[in-house]
Structure 1
């Protein structure tokens, strides 16, 4: 029995059949036989050659025993014994059987080099760059981290994105459900936030009459007679050079009377053929110089005393009763260039249990128009007015609609409240306080300035920033005549008008038999509750779920990515 080595220097183990002692030899480059015969050596070499045809695939050792055959007493011509065989009746066999030695195939072999050159060969693992290997490792960490978050999250539905045993279609269905839930949350939350920003207030009926305190109404009285004839004659005598003829003097008398009663409604009534040497900037000074002394008196049954203030309005020189803003439009206040906040005392209020409270105005020696409004506002040209004849005693009963805003609403913005308090006058440029009527008057003033390049004389022409606005003369008044309807309505097809005037937060209206109050309907807490309900309904998570997300993507993310 022989063993031939396919690789020099490697050990080979020999095995002998039963009854023949086995021996172990170390083979090098040639084979050896048991008896040293040449025939045996030749046969052994042939056997080794046959074994050497097997592929050398790597380290390892396999032992294949030879075929067990009966020895025959006959010998062939070479002296070798033969035995019969099914395939070959005369196969020479050595008396000693041989064991073939081959190597086990390796578990892995590198692929053969490509024909394109060394630069096209695939890199083996030891040749992968460190940057690429680090990116691959980081990507694996991120993937494992996301899987861990999805499987451990308390948000409903996330676990099914990483749950084992689900196919691709099932995962896509759960992903679609989660996307629909997220879209619904975002859409409804945006609508909720928009509602909180624009209309969180509601006007509700206050049925507790024991706490009602209704503001006493304010009224503005505008007399029909405003020019003193004696003062006009004195003015003509003092300026004879401007009135050469009697016709000029008569035209001036008519001009100054109509100028004193000039409003947007009767702009076309003013004669525009003669200016008498008077510029638009001097109109207001001339009217106060020639005005008639109208001095009404007032008495009331209220505990708080009420006053009458002279004020300049869009209807000319008038007198306001129980007003908190009339003094800011007085001629003396304008002429002194004053912008301070004035003290008007306490607001006059009436309780239903106090009975009827009255105010009586006497010494009205001329016909007059009356405008009823709240104490914190001014008369508007678009509101109804009441005309009373001279020496006529008239009684007017008023029922108030009171709207007041509670203290909680003061923390909201003006856009959320849709109203302004009188101290929120940062956008007002002609008065230091805010009211809805003053805002509309100022809007008309700037619209006239943009359309005609000047403003009517019954507005304050000096702004808070020190700018002086041009006052319309006869030519400017002619321009105002053409757009007076647009000025009154503040609507124009040619010009873009945006007054941005909000209602007074504390306001009084009359002739309405109700009592209203503005309360906070939708607070920030309501926003949190509403959005939290949406998130809980669609995703089944709570505030702790968001804490969990923050924890996973901060502390735990850093630990998993950088500290293993």
Structure 2
């Protein structure tokens, strides 16, 4: 009896869906036998799941999935009654489709990883009145008014005494004020001059207000630039110029933002020009300009500003609306002892929110030349959806992503200036007179000249080595990481130059000039065109684009959609659980029938 029961338990009992076939012995036939070749595939699959072994049930679920899935080719591979050669045929085609799909998707993923951002031209032209006129910084090579401080005679007197006595013995023969001026000028003289005077630094005054002293020595604005013209109006240049400290010394600046609008605290810099530029001051008979209202930022542009704006802008690109300055140098002020033999003016163009980098490109205006500069803006804007891409991938910073210590807004120039200032403070415990610095950090004195010079050279070498290392190892870090701003404004320029003879010009106009040793130069700066093409930085491959491309590739080669993945999860999770409950229920019914 026990043997009979054991034999019955091993018998596969048909379920209600399996119809009885004629002349079939269910006690001796298995679910995979040839006797079931004419049975419908749905009946065989359900019987495998409910009554077969665990392996047979898994095969049944796989067959059920292949019969229901929307993925192309799968049903032909696993179909119950399909011949083997047809299955092999579809297996080869399906594997080929999977290979091409995976290859294309991998290429798309790599493209999304490596170059998710694209730079292209904006669809519309930008008129020049949408952006500010460039900030123009003019740095004359003549740094001192000889009638105030005769650097040549005093420096030669000190060197002669030093060569004769191997030290400076006649300190009392020079006024203390001139010694203080001598100490201040050491910060702007050429490196070989500083090295020559280095043994005498201990005998020069140490506590000198360098920026203030250099400003007192600087030739006045109206003497260097007697008159200017801007936007068709004549101005006295001292009414529209600011004094600004730079690495070149004290320079004259037109159309720059006030220090309180550039720095988080204007006390971060050692000198701020107290004269506020008022563009309503002019000496022609035109009606006054409107008061300046609203504000400007690089991200939002001009908001609520009329024809008189801060910073200044222009509507036209003609030379009539250009910035023009007549510059003059007096021969008695020529200096070949402190500075190089190059005489004239260095001119820097930059966006108003940035400080000029005097180590960058500049325009040289020699004495006795007329230089005409036509400007073509290089304006880069970025779409807001770039925020979803990391700065390392898009290679730029938004203003709200990178906060600088000293500056209100981020720009590459400001970042590089702050990097140099921080590195100098860390190395020397002080900052050079023109650098922004914390309020409790002193300005470098004579004894610190060698330190801050070496610090600047060391920083340049470090940045160069780290940048080259990053080309080999993308994970290598670069100090300060001064990437470009996502929204940036720079000014490319073309230069035309000709000789300008002031004496012949005065004779032609039958004028008599008050300075008989004046050598004149003229500078004109204007926009090259009324409109220009901006550059737009936008997403080429975002997450949504990546998903769309991958979905298109899957759909093309395999017919897969998002529901295909849901279907896959359903069959091998919820469907397995449901089949497991059905198997338990079927086993209970078999046991009851056997009993």
TM range (shorter): 0.5 to 0.7
Deviations 1:391-421 (A, max 9, x none): x684523131332426556656544553445
Q: TM-score, normalised by structure 2?
A: 0.55
Deviations 1:364-409 (A, max 9, x none): 677542112333433223433234466x684523131332426556
Within the alignment, does 1:509 sit opposite 2:491 as a pair? yes
Which of 141, 152, 175 is the equivalent residue of 2:68? 152
Which of 357, 361, 384 is the equivalent residue of 1:380? 357
Aligned position for 1:334: 268
Match runs of 1:348-367 below 5 Å: 348-351=312-315, 356-361=320-325
Within the alignment, does 1:315 sit opposite 2:248 as a pair? yes
Aligned position for 2:118: 201
Aligned position for 2:372: 396
Deviations 1:539-563 (A, max 9, x none): 2323443343455456545544557
Within the alignment, does 1:456 sit opposite 2:437 as a pair? no
Greater Cα shift, 433-442 or 553-562: 553-562
Deviation at residue 220 of structure 1 after TM alignment: 0.6
Helix, strand or coil at the partner of 2:121: strand
Aligned position for 1:256: 184
| Cα distance in 2 between the residues matched to 1:426 and 1:548 | 45
CA 1:271–1:498 in structure 2 vs 1: closer, same or farther (change >3 Å)?
A: same
Helix, strand or coil at the partner of 2:139: strand
| Cα distance in 2 between the residues matched to 1:171 and 1:277 | 93
Aligned position for 1:418: 395
Aligned position for 1:273: 200
Within the alignment, does 1:300 sit opposite 2:230 as a pair? yes
CA 1:351–1:508 in structure 2 vs 1: closer, same or farther (change >3 Å)?
A: farther
CA 1:216–1:152 in structure 2 vs 1: closer, same or farther (change >3 Å)?
A: same
Structure with the greater alpha carbon radius of gyration: 1
Aligned position for 1:90: none
Helix, strand or coil at the partner of 1:194: helix
CA 1:172–1:541 in structure 2 vs 1: closer, same or farther (change >3 Å)?
A: closer
Asked if the contact 1:185–1:535 (Cα under 8 Å) also holds between the matched residues in 2, the reply is no
| Cα distance in 2 between the residues matched to 1:309 and 1:211 | 24
Aligned position for 1:189: 108
| Cα distance in 1 between the residues matched to 2:461 and 2:267 | 29
Aligned position for 1:369: 346
Deviation at residue 203 of structure 1 after TM alignment: 2.9
CA 1:314–1:376 in structure 2 vs 1: closer, same or farther (change >3 Å)?
A: same
Match runs of 1:426-441 below 5 Å: 426-441=402-417
CA 1:216–1:337 in structure 2 vs 1: closer, same or farther (change >3 Å)?
A: closer
CA 1:285–1:301 in structure 2 vs 1: closer, same or farther (change >3 Å)?
A: closer
Asked if the contact 2:77–2:88 (Cα under 8 Å) also holds between the matched residues in 1, the reply is no
Deviation at residue 511 of structure 1 after TM alignment: 2.1
| Cα distance in 2 between the residues matched to 1:248 and 1:402 | 51
Paired residue total: 415
Helix, strand or coil at the partner of 1:442: helix
Helix, strand or coil at the partner of 1:309: strand
| Cα distance in 1 between the residues matched to 2:445 and 2:146 | 23
Q: TM-score, normalised by structure 1?
A: 0.57
Asked if the contact 1:377–1:435 (Cα under 8 Å) also holds between the matched residues in 2, the reply is yes
Helix, strand or coil at the partner of 2:252: strand
Q: Which runs of 5+ in 1 are unaligned?
A: 1-56, 60-106, 109-135, 237-241
* More strand per residue: 2
Aligned position for 1:216: 133
Q: Cα RMSD (Å) of the superposition?
A: 5.1
Deviation at residue 432 of structure 1 after TM alignment: 1.8
| Cα distance in 2 between the residues matched to 1:156 and 1:443 | 59
Helix, strand or coil at the partner of 2:221: coil
Which of 478, 493, 499 is the equivalent residue of 2:450? 478
Deviation at residue 321 of structure 1 after TM alignment: 1.5
| Cα distance in 2 between the residues matched to 1:215 and 1:406 | 18
